[in-house]
Structure 1
């Protein structure tokens, strides 16, 4: 892809993310093009419809999240630190937006595969955290991954907001909270 075409595509995605976050799913493609400072024809050359645009945003976001979780899994830190790092990273991502749009349209094979990979990676990290004693072991890794998803896949999610804090506090063991 040419450099100018890549820049235009990035401008479209950034404008769409801003407008979707601010105004919801009802934003028109014309509004997105205007916000990006481009003509509608340029937008449609990159994305033939809203579904293609949302799929591109979702796939890019989930790919980056998968790569972040993989990198965290390779770090020589406690698994608890890795989980908290994932929650912090997710707070800056449009996961609530992706979830909302995903609920309204069928998941693509690529998006389904990425979600499965991320969940499997997180479940492995949770199992390791349970073995190291930093995460409670009376919940299954799948249940814990589900709770982490609740913490990060909602509008306004932040790593330090009350809901995320309560979930993380509830998942950690007493020794983790004491800093042992």
Structure 2
């Protein structure tokens, strides 16, 4: 891809992320093009439809999250600290957008596989935290991941916000 085309693609994705974070997933393609400082035709040359744009953002977010979880879990610190860092990282990602498209009938196999990988990494981390004794054991790892997902995969999630703090406090021992 030419350098200018790559820059335009990055501008589109950046503008889309900002608008989705600010106003939710209902932002129009025209608004995204305008925020990127590009014409609608340029946007559609890169992304033939809204679904293609959202899929790219969702797939990229899940790839980054899986990498971050692997990186953090490799550190020699308490598992609770790792979980708290993962949660903080999650609140800074477009996971509300990822979750909004997760239930679609047309889920791409690549994104579905990434979601399964991320869920597995999170369940494994929760098991480690429970084994460490810093997380309640009366909640299964699957339930804990669902609870954490509710806290971080929502518009407006941020590190240390009330919902995130209360969620972590409720899971701690």
- TM-score per shorter chain, which class? over 0.9
Deviation at 1:165, TM superposition (A): 1.1
Deviation at 1:24, TM superposition (A): 3.4
Partner of residue 165, structure 1: 165
Structure 2: state its 5+ residue gaps.
none
Where in structure 2 are the equivalents of 1:1-180 lying within 5 Å?
Answer: 1-103=1-103, 106-173=106-173
Normalized against structure 2, the TM-score is what? 0.93
Deviation at 1:154, TM superposition (A): 1.0
Structure scoring higher RCO (CA < 8 A, sep ≥ 6) equals 2
Deviation at 1:91, TM superposition (A): 1.2
Render the CA deviation track for 1:47-101: whole Å, top value 9, x for unaligned.
0100000000100111101110111111111111111001110111111122224
Residue 24 of structure 2 contacts residue 155 of structure 2 at CA under 8 Å; is this kept in 1? no
Deviation at 1:104, TM superposition (A): 5.3
Q: Which moves more between the two structures, 104-113 or 3-12?
A: 104-113
Normalized against structure 1, the TM-score is what? 0.89
Number of aligned residue pairs: give it. 173
Answer with 1 or 2: which has the greater Rg: 1
What is the root-mean-square deviation in Å for CA atoms of aligned residues? 1.5
Residue 142 of structure 1: SS of its match in structure 2? helix
CA distance in 1, matches of 2:105, 2:14: 21
